[in-house]
Structure 1
Amino acid sequence: MEVTSQLIWNPVLADPTGQRQMKPRTLGKTMVIDKGLGLNAFEDLLSTSSNHIDMIKIGFGTSPLYPQLLLKKKIEMAKALGISIYPGGTFLEVAVVQNAVASLFDMISALGFTGIEVSDGTIKMDRKLRNELILRGLESGFEVYTEYGKKGWGSSIELDELIETVALDAEYGAELVTIEARESGMGVGIFDAQGNCKDEELHKVLSSVPSPGILLWEAPLKSQQVHLIQLLGADVHLGNISSQEIISLEALRRGLRSDTLSLTTGKE
C-alpha cells in the first residue's frame, strides 16, 4: 500500500499573522458552547476543529439530560485531544440553590469533567461562597473558570465590582474570568440590544483591570468576534462560540477572512 506523506501549507498561507500559538495555548483561547450535540455531531466537531478549540462548555444545566454513556464518551473524546470540558455555571448555581453542591462535585468528578465554572449570573452569591467554590474546584483537581455578569436583559458592567471580582478570582486561582454575554450576545454586558459592542465600557474595563489577559469575552455573533479581534488583537480569549463557527473564527484570528485581512497586510 502506497504511503503518501502529508503536504504542508506555506506558513504565510496557513497563518498570515505568523503569531498564532499552537495548543496548549496561553493566548487566544476559544471556548465552544455545546447546547445539545449528539455523539456523531460532537465527533465531527472534534475531527474538523479540535486544533482550534481550547474549552468546551456543556451549556447551562444540560449535563444530566444526556444519556450518561453518551456524556461520558463526549468527555473522554475532548480530554483525549487536550480540550478542557466542563458544565455550565448555571448548573452550579442550581446546586447552590438546591443545597446539592457536594453531590454536583462528586458527580462531575466521577464523569471525568476536567473543569468547573463558578458564576452567579442568575442567583445572588456572596464573596465568601464564591471563594469557597473556587477553592473547592481547585482542590478537586478541576480547572476553574469564573464568570462575571448577570444574565438579565439590560444588565451592564459595574466597573468597581468587576475590578474586585477579577482581582479576587485570580488571587484564589481562577484560570480565566468570563465576561457574560449569554448565547444571544444581545442586551447583556458590553453588548447593546442590537449586539453592538459598547466600546466606552470595554475600554474602561481594559484600563481598569490589572491583567486583561485573564478575561474571556463571550462573543457568539460574528460581528462581535470581528470587532473584538480588530480592537484587541487575534490573541483575545473568546467564548460561547457555536460549534458551527470554530473554523470561521480561527480564520478571522489568522487574517484568512476579508474582515481581518487588513490586520495582516495593512491594506483593505
Structure 2
Amino acid sequence: MKSFEFLSKKREGKPRNCGITMVLDKGMGLETAKSLMEISGEYVDYLKFGWGTSIVHEQDIVRAKVEMYKSFDITPYTGGTLFELAYMQGKLDEFLKEARNLGFPAVEISDGSTSISHDDKLDCIRKAKREGFEVLSEVGKKNPELDKELALEERIRYMQEELDAGSSLVIVEAREGGKNIGIFDKAGNAKEDEIDVILDKINPKKILWEAPNKDQQVFFILKLGNTVNLGNVSSDDITSLETLRQGLRGDTVGKI
C-alpha cells in the first residue's frame, strides 16, 4: 500500500493504452537501473537504450538489463541511431538478429541522423514487424536546420504512413534537450498551433511526444490530460513526471 494513498488519483495500470511514459537509459549499470525500477518501475512503459549505447557495453550486461526491465512489465528497445548505423552499413538483418538474441522485444526505426528515403524507412518498419518486433518509429531530424526543412504537412503524412506500415507509436523528435527542434522553439516552448494541427490529423493515442523538460511535460499534461504519452524522460525524472500526472505538484494540483 502506498503512503497517503487516499489522497492520490488512480491511473490506468499496465499494460497502458495511453498515459505512456518512455524513459531514456543513457548507460545505467544493472544494479542502479534495478534499484530505480523497484521504486518507480510501475510508472515506466518503455525504456529506450539511448542512441548507440548498447554497442559500448558487454552483451551479458545488456541482456541482463533487458530481462530486468521486462520483469517490471517494461518494454525495452534499441535507440534509433543504432538502427541507422545498421542501415548505413547494409547490416539490417544482423541488427535484427542481434536485437533478438539480446532479448529486445522492440526496436526504434528513425532517420534523424542519416538520409534514408521514406519508402525505405517504411520497408524497414514492415520488415521488423515481420521479424516479430514491436516497432516505434520517429519522425524528425536531429539537426535543427534539416528538421526545419520538413514541412508540417509532410511531417504529418510521414507519421500516418509509418503507423499504417506497422509502428505501434510514432515519436515526435525533440532530442534530449528539447530545444529548437520539431514542435519546440529555441527556448524550448511548445509550438501549440503546430501541435493542434498534428492532433487534428493523427490519433493522439498513437503519438509519443518527446518532452524531456519539466515545463514541456506540464504543458502537455495541462493541454491533453494526464493520459498523454511522453518520452525521452530522464531516469532521474520518473517520479517527478508521475507526480505531475497525478496532480501532486503545484504545476498540476487541482488542474487534472
TM over 0.5: yes
CA distance in 2, matches of 1:165, 1:12: 44
- Following superposition of structure 1 onto structure 2, how do residues 72-151 of structure 1 map, counting pairs within 5 Å? 72-151=63-142
CA distance in 2, matches of 1:127, 1:83: 29
Distance 1:202 1:103, change over 3 A: same
CA distance in 1, matches of 2:135, 2:151: 23
Q: Which amino acid aligns with 1:183?
A: E
The yes-or-no answer on 1:67 pairing with 2:58 is yes
Please say if residues 17 and 205 of structure 2, whose CA atoms lie closer than 8 Å, have aligned partners that are also in contact.
no
Measured after TM superposition, the shift of residue 127 of structure 1 is: 2.5
Gaps of 5+ in 1: 1-6
Q: Which amino acid aligns with 1:100?
A: K
- Following superposition of structure 1 onto structure 2, how do residues 20-39 of structure 1 map, counting pairs within 5 Å? 20-39=11-30
Give the 3-state SS of the residue equivalent to 2:218 in structure 1.
helix
CA distance in 2, matches of 1:217, 1:63: 23
* Selected match of 2:167 from 135, 151, 174: 174
CA distance in 1, matches of 2:96, 2:61: 19
Q: Which amino acid aligns with 1:237?
A: N
The equivalent of 2:199 in structure 1 is: 206
The equivalent of 1:193 in structure 2 is: 186
Q: Which amino acid aligns with 1:217?
A: W
TM-score (ref. length: structure 1): 0.91
The equivalent of 1:56 in structure 2 is: 47
Measured after TM superposition, the shift of residue 244 of structure 1 is: 0.6
The yes-or-no answer on 1:222 pairing with 2:247 is no
Q: Which moved more, 1:190-199 or 1:234-243?
A: 190-199
The equivalent of 1:159 in structure 2 is: 152
* Overall identity of the aligned pairs, in %: 40
CA distance in 1, matches of 2:140, 2:244: 26
* Selected match of 1:14 from 8, 16, 20: 8
Count the aligned residue pairs: 254
Measured after TM superposition, the shift of residue 202 of structure 1 is: 1.4
Q: Which moved more, 1:196-205 or 1:214-223?
A: 196-205
* Selected match of 2:224 from 226, 232, 249: 232
Give the aligned CA root-mean-square deviation in angstroms: 1.5
Measured after TM superposition, the shift of residue 52 of structure 1 is: 0.2
Please say if residues 180 and 188 of structure 2, whose CA atoms lie closer than 8 Å, have aligned partners that are also in contact.
yes
Give the 3-state SS of the residue equivalent to 2:160 in structure 1.
helix
Measured after TM superposition, the shift of residue 256 of structure 1 is: 0.9
Q: Which moved more, 1:246-255 or 1:145-154?
A: 145-154
Give the 3-state SS of the residue equivalent to 1:245 in structure 2.
helix
The equivalent of 2:233 in structure 1 is: 241
Q: Which moved more, 1:172-181 or 1:127-136?
A: 127-136
Give the 3-state SS of the residue equivalent to 1:36 in structure 2.
coil
Q: Which amino acid aligns with 2:80?
A: G
- Following superposition of structure 1 onto structure 2, how do residues 34-49 of structure 1 map, counting pairs within 5 Å? 34-49=25-40
CA distance in 1, matches of 2:45, 2:27: 19
Measured after TM superposition, the shift of residue 12 of structure 1 is: 4.7
CA distance in 2, matches of 1:225, 1:8: 24
Give the 3-state SS of the residue equivalent to 1:31 in structure 2.
strand
